[in-house]
Structure 1
């Protein structure tokens, strides 16, 4: 069992270095982490599933009080800590990033599809979240960290043949945005198609409000026609 666990959490080459770089990019956008002074801004819920990875779910990345400030050669630890806590970081990265993304998304995307197909994408993430709304979130995340992976899946439709049958059964495509760090590893064939993809999801569970939360991790290996979960 221990060997299975180790194999499940194995990551692709360069994963830890990439995760550190992504953390730096998110810190630059949010003003948190190594850019924060004595008052650190809370992580915006806009990151969604990325939040748990950002707050310590990445293997090999211990969450310590760090700073991107450089310590002067003759500056002792006490003076450096005092300067670090007084430092102020103007969040120009956030303003410029949002400006560029809003300019890119100022016009709705044109979709070449049948009306029924477009209707099936009206609610792709639950809560009437349209593909256009999800596109805006994905674009902003990608502008910050470079890329935004997503899972696109469809419920099984045994015995249902027509679009009308699918619509009446409430079966529609579902899209889930992920953080790059959640994609632990993958394999592609010679044509560039994904053969499998290993994804990790961390979450906190606290059914009893008077008890401590439990930290849970799920690893899912997605294949083109099935998936495995631990």
Structure 2
């Protein structure tokens, strides 16, 4: 039994093993360097200073973070659409959904990105203390209203549930407080949410015991908490859907470090002397012979001696370069799997008749689930205001399998030149891939083409 609010559940510890790889990859080169030997092992015969220098010079190919960013951009290729059934008051709040100047669409980008990279992410609806506020007019005048809070997966410490319903959630947060006339200090605290109430705990001193700092109540009968899953394994637990890509990216990080290190070594030829006899002093200790290398200097060698530079053949360098290229190809394939359509069971009998062969990509299913999560947040905001239903949110992403337009466009151009597709189709496909702006249309462009005369190549 533990009364320590900062204790973590075994399920959280298991997920943190994934995030120990994911978080540095999302943080870039500096975060990977900070991870040190965890993600870049030291060679058995490598001294500490050499390892530190190799680590300092290592750079990351951001395959994982860029894949997550690109997939997120696809989900938000068009701004999300708040349904007509969303109350007007909630629509107004959505323009500053987090009370920090971010509208619902902008705030949701980070929510989705974090969930995609880590497999899960959380948010809840908070409400400032409303003491003395009795009407909505009073709330508006005081600036008191519900707003959303993003809780990253690493912050969550533990939870309790009954019948699949969340009854308690604990997470760690850092709040900024004034320190003197001009300074500010960051204070770490644990927040505990339960139906209708909340508590915060802080340490009396660094390393000391946690003690109750503040508490309060709210008007809801359930915890206004929403969890977005992209790789759900159970209640409140998940596995990052791109974990294999993450491992490949770490492998590339290590291989790239090896490649850079061997290039650094072989670029400096090694000067070798052969046939020099050792010299000893009166005490029988070896004395290195005087040796000078450089322009205008002379070195004596015995008749059987030799002096030459030894250089690397470069075979290992080429093998390393090929291995890195192969890894890039494997990472590209691992990242593209989110766009590969999968047959999904339909939700109702009617849909089963009409859409029996419907296929959805994993990314499309994630986007649909994400829209439901946002709608649930709006529902909690509506409940705080007594507005009934909170309405729906529609995601309008681009889930085309053609995830690399630069690969498919040359093929399309070749097909158009061979007469296998029309120029209008080529124009449309380029617009669909974002190469040509949607502001243009084919009839007008065709008229311009015909009016500009023959191309230079035809003169």
Using the size of structure 1 for normalisation, the TM-score is 0.70
CA contact (8 A) 1:124 1:172 kept: no
Whole-angstrom CA distance in 1 between matches of 2:177 and 2:127 = 27
Whole-angstrom CA distance in 1 between matches of 2:87 and 2:22 = 39
Whole-angstrom CA distance in 2 between matches of 1:137 and 1:179 = 10
CA contact (8 A) 1:12 1:185 kept: yes
After superposing the two structures, state which structure 1 stretch, 217-226 or 123-132, moved more.
123-132
Whole-angstrom CA distance in 2 between matches of 1:127 and 1:210 = 22
Whole-angstrom CA distance in 1 between matches of 2:21 and 2:62 = 14
1:103 aligns with 2:78: no
Richer in helix (by share): 2
Whole-angstrom CA distance in 1 between matches of 2:141 and 2:178 = 36
Measured at CA, do residues 136 and 85 of structure 1 come closer, stay the same or move farther in structure 2, by a change above 3 Å? same
Larger Rg: 2
Measured at CA, do residues 164 and 69 of structure 1 come closer, stay the same or move farther in structure 2, by a change above 3 Å? same
Measured at CA, do residues 204 and 131 of structure 1 come closer, stay the same or move farther in structure 2, by a change above 3 Å? closer
Name the counterpart of 1:197: 169
Pairwise CA distance, 1:185: 0.8
Measured at CA, do residues 34 and 123 of structure 1 come closer, stay the same or move farther in structure 2, by a change above 3 Å? closer
CA contact (8 A) 1:33 1:66 kept: no
Name the counterpart of 1:221: 192
After superposing the two structures, state which structure 1 stretch, 70-79 or 86-95, moved more.
70-79
Look up the SS of the partner of 2:4 in the other structure. Answer: helix
Pairwise CA distance, 1:114: 2.7
Whole-angstrom CA distance in 2 between matches of 1:33 and 1:21 = 19
CA contact (8 A) 1:35 1:67 kept: no
Structure 1 residues 155-174: Cα deviation after superposition (integer angstroms, max 9, x where no partner) = 466533xx666545533321
1:159 aligns with 2:131: no
CA contact (8 A) 1:200 1:218 kept: yes
Name the counterpart of 1:8: 5
Look up the SS of the partner of 1:96 in the other structure. Answer: helix
Pairwise CA distance, 1:86: 2.6
Name the counterpart of 2:156: 183
Using the size of structure 2 for normalisation, the TM-score is 0.38
After superposing the two structures, state which structure 1 stretch, 124-133 or 163-172, moved more.
163-172
Structure 1 residues 159-206: Cα deviation after superposition (integer angstroms, max 9, x where no partner) = 33xx6665455333211112212211111111x221011121135667
Cα RMSD after superposing both structures: 3.2
Residue ranges of structure 1 left out of the alignment (5+ in a row):
41-63
1:128 aligns with 2:101: yes
